[in-house]
Amino acid sequence: MGVTLDDYNNNVEPAWCPGCGNFGILNAVKKALVELELPPEKVLICSGIGQAPKLPHYLRVNAFDGLHGREVASASAAKLAADDLTVLVHAGDGGAYGEGGNHFVSAIRRNINITLVVHDNRVYGLTKGQASPTTEEGTKAKLQPHGLAIRPLNPLALAISQGGSFVAQGFPAKMDQLVGLIKAAVEHQGFSFLNILQPCVSWDKVHTYQYYQERSYDLAEDWDPADQTKALELVLAPDGRFPLGIIYTNQRPSYDQIVLKGVERPLRDRGVDPQKAARLFDRFR
């Protein structure tokens, strides 16, 4: 018997608002993991605090909930200790690009073999509508009643400019495409970054499903994701449109391949010497 969707069901009722874009992402993740024939015990999903990080709560899978914005750091440590696991991170735009911005950039530089999936809804949904790092300038929000006075972060441009080895963007309403992007991200050897345009039906009445459907487009079949300059030009284009697909890739050794070269793995099976651990703890008392 192969892996099925039932293997990932845990019968926990999602606490998201009806119509939330997170439902589509959840379904896409399940389908992708099943199509990759990954059993739940071989998958770890790290998350933090927020609506997006609730995703692993609704799957029968290994999960680690850490501090807000520290999801990538937790996942990086887990991958080094247990490199036989497929490690994903699910975070919102606030956690990934705000509190976790430095971890995001460091993961790009290290190119550690994990997959970061960001549910980008341009708002802090759990705490009821504050502006996030990707909220557009001038937007009126709970703490910015006269309009946001700063420009939004462009995470795609940041990742491409720093040589991210896999940069892609998807949309929950395009399920087949999103499933394919998640599969490609997981199969990529290195740090995979997938930004998902996730409509927030409660706190953002502008960036709706219709809004993204009218302004998003699929990359051409002959698009060359190895061209960094064209990829940057694409995501910096001032036309207000959203490219969907694999935008940029490059092949280079992953961090775990380099630092664990010649090391007996997985590290978690090597055990811990209690006396060495005690001496280490004593140094920091």
Contact 16, 38 (CB under 8 A): no
Find, among 109, 96, 217, 95, the residue nearest to 165 by Cα: 109
Q: What is the pLDDT of residue 1?
A: 61
Kindly report the number of other CB atoms within 10 A of residue 213's CB atom.
Answer: 12
Q: What is the predicted pLDDT for the residue at 127?
A: 85
The answer to whether residues 81 and 62 touch, using CB atoms and an 8 Å cutoff, is: no
Residue 24 to residue 222: CA distance in whole angstroms: 28
Per-residue pLDDT at 111: 98
Give residue 103's pLDDT.
Answer: 97
The string of DSSP letters for 64-133 reads EE-STT-HHHHHHHHHHH-TTSEEEEEEEHHIIIIITHHHHHHHHHHT-S-EEEEEE-SEETTTTSEE-T
What was the pLDDT predicted at 70?
A: 95
What residues are paired with 195 via a beta bridge? Answer: 118, 169
* Per-residue confidence (pLDDT) for residue 280, from 0 to 100: 87
Q: What is the pTM of this model?
A: 0.94
Tell me how far apart the alpha carbons of residues 32 and 26 are, in angstroms, rounded to a whole number.
10
For residue 6, give both structure tokens: 């039932």
Q: CA 87 to CA 266: how far, in whole Å?
A: 14
How many angstroms separate the Cα of 65 from the Cα of each of 133, 168, 224, 234?
22, 25, 37, 35
The upper half-sphere exposure of residue 256, i.e. CA atoms within 13 Å in the direction of its Cβ, equals 24
Q: What is the pLDDT along the chain (285 residues), one digit of tens a residue?
A: 699 999 999 989 999 999 999 999 999 999 999 999 999 999 999 999 999 999 999 999 999 999 999 999 999 999 999 999 999 999 999 999 999 999 999 999 999 999 999 999 999 988 888 899 999 999 988 888 898 999 999 999 999 999 999 999 999 999 999 999 999 999 999 999 999 999 999 999 999 999 999 999 999 999 999 999 999 999 999 999 999 999 999 999 999 999 999 888 898 888 888 898 899 889 988
Residues 144-174 as b/e (b if ≥16 CB within 10 A, e otherwise) read eeeebeeebbbbbbbbbbeebbbbbbbbbbb
pLDDT computed for residue 95 by the predictor: 94
